[in-house]
Structure formats: C-alpha cells, structure tokens
Amino acid sequence: MPSWFDSPARTAYRYLQHWMLHPYLWRCLKGAKLRSWGAKTLGESGKHGEPRLAGDGYARIGEGSGSTNVLTGSGVDEAWATGTQLAEAVVELLNAKKPFTGQNLEETYVKRRRESWVEAEGRIAEKSRDGFQKGVVTGMIGMALAGLTNGKLSLGGVPLQPWKRIPTVENYFAEKISRDECKTSNIPLHGALMDKAGWPAIPFDGQLLVSHQDALLMGGKVQAPDGYSDLVVFLHPYLCQKCGERICIEACSGQAIYPGDTGVPNFDREKCVHCGVCMWNCSQATPENPEQMNIVFRAGAGGLHSAEN
C-alpha cells in the first residue's frame, strides 16, 4: 500500500484475494494450495530517502540506504551491489591498515557507490514518483516522462506529512460505517468497509483462499530470537489513545500490530516483516517535531518470512 494512498483504512490482503478470483486468473489458480507467504516493502522514496551512508565505524547498504530504483521497481540487484561495494571498501581499508572512520569509508565505499550504475540509475529515477502526491494519474504520467527522458522531465509534487494529509475515519467514510460498529462486531475496519461497499465475501477453501492469519501460519516462518528489544516503538501513548485512524493496525501486513486494551497498539516482534509501513503512515506527529511521527522504527532481529526462503 503506497504512502500516498490516503484511505485511513487499508490493507492489501483482501484486495489480493479478489484479484486472484478474477475469472481470467482463477481458471489457472483454482485447486492450488498456498506454499509460502511473505511481505516486503519497496522503499518508494529511493534516492529521496538516502540517509547518511557512512560514519565512524558504520556504513549503510541495501534498500534502507536509498538504493531502490523507484522508477523500475527494482531493489534486489541494487541492494546486492551496495553490499559488494562496501565489502570491497572494507578489504581495501584492511589491506591499507586504515581504520573504519567516516572519512575513510566516504573515500572508499561512498566513492565507489557514487561512481556506480546504482547512483546513475537512482538519479534518473529520483523524481519519477513525485507526481503521485497529486494523484494516481499524475503519478503515472510523471513516471512515463521520467522514463522516456532519462529523468530530465518529471511531474513534481510536494509531499505533506501524514498528519496533514490523511483524513479521519469519520470524514473519509461518512455515513458508511463507524469504528464503534467494528469494535462491537470485532472485525477489522477495512473488512467492514469493503462489506458495506458491496464487495463479496471471500469463499475460503482452506488451501489458497484463507484468512490473513491463516496465511501467516501456513505460509510463513518466524525468525525472531529471544533477547532483543522491540523494533517498533510508540513514543507517546496518549497520541495513540486519541488516534482515530489506527493505520498502523489496519496496514500491518504481518498483523504484528494489533489493538491493545489501553488504546495503545500491541506489537508482536515475531510477526513483524520490517516493512516500515507503520512508521511512514502514522497520522500522529510528535509535539516536539512535526516531521517526526509517533512510531519509531528501530533496528531489530528476526521477523516473519516466507517459508520458501
């Protein structure tokens, strides 16, 4: 679910099931059995979201370092390339008996990266998705322009913070359904809204068409060793308690974030797939910094992964 999709209740799971039930696809999928289930994030900011790449004793690689090509949707090759670049830089520094200072890593790892195809293609793609801030059609046209002109032309858009952009449930779904109805029925908000809008129920077959929770149990595996702290942290509990959107709960692809008794969501580290959706869709800004959302996403270990890899 992209960050510019402003519905305060969203999930990809049920939409995916309806997509599979399309007659053109279902004729091939009928009778199939779920083998594996996983979830992944595509860091849509790409070059826009590049953090500081190196410092004293550390360096960043992979999709979390802004290497993803947001025009082509490619991330794996770029991530591996940055890892190789860092490995080569480490070997060079070891051979030269130089310490892993920020300056030395800048002159070896970051220099390699800036001179590589990862940087060149990232620059082309950098502004390709900016148009989505003005709508889906504008975004698609902007991507086409960027692709056809090697990044020279694109359609700009100034992103707003989620707390300025995402409407309340009551306003977005006025006269459709209330959150209180969902609480009474003990059903997810997105499910209730899809029912209310006329989407048919999914005919679960216990093999391929299964509930979200069953998909986690049947097709995933947990790799979360003991002894590590939670990687998702809710900074100010009172902001969670007053939040009406709860996008972190609705959008969590692993159902790692779920309602808590006190109004603050609970977090299950063993189900987290480290996608970051909760962080960049949080609708509550902290009082000390309007650019900082109430969810902090920290380094962590483990998580739910596909059973096949």
| 8 Å CB contact between 8 and 283 | yes
For CA atoms 300, 8, 189, 203, the dihedral sign is negative
Task: Tell me the per-residue pLDDT of 30-86, one tens digit each, with 9 for 90 and over.
Answer: 999 988 776 655 555 788 878 899 999 999 998 778 898 989 888 889 999 999 999
Between CA 4 and CA 133 the distance in angstroms is 6
Distances from the Cα of 304 to the Cα of 10, 88, 243, 309, angstroms: 20, 31, 27, 11
Per-residue pLDDT at 209:
92
Give me the half-sphere count of Cα atoms (radius 13 Å) on the Cβ side of residue 164.
8
Please tell me the distance from the alpha carbon of residue 129 to that of residue 70, in angstroms, as a whole number. Answer: 7
| Per-residue pLDDT at 249 | 84
d(CA 123, CA 150): 9
Q: Would you state the structure tokens that stand for residue 166, as one six-digit string?
A: 């995402």
Q: What is the pLDDT of residue 132?
A: 83
Domain ranges of the chain: 13-40+162-306, 46-128
* Residues in the chain, pLDDT under 70: 1-6, 8-12, 38-44, 157, 169-170, 173-189, 219-225, 299-309
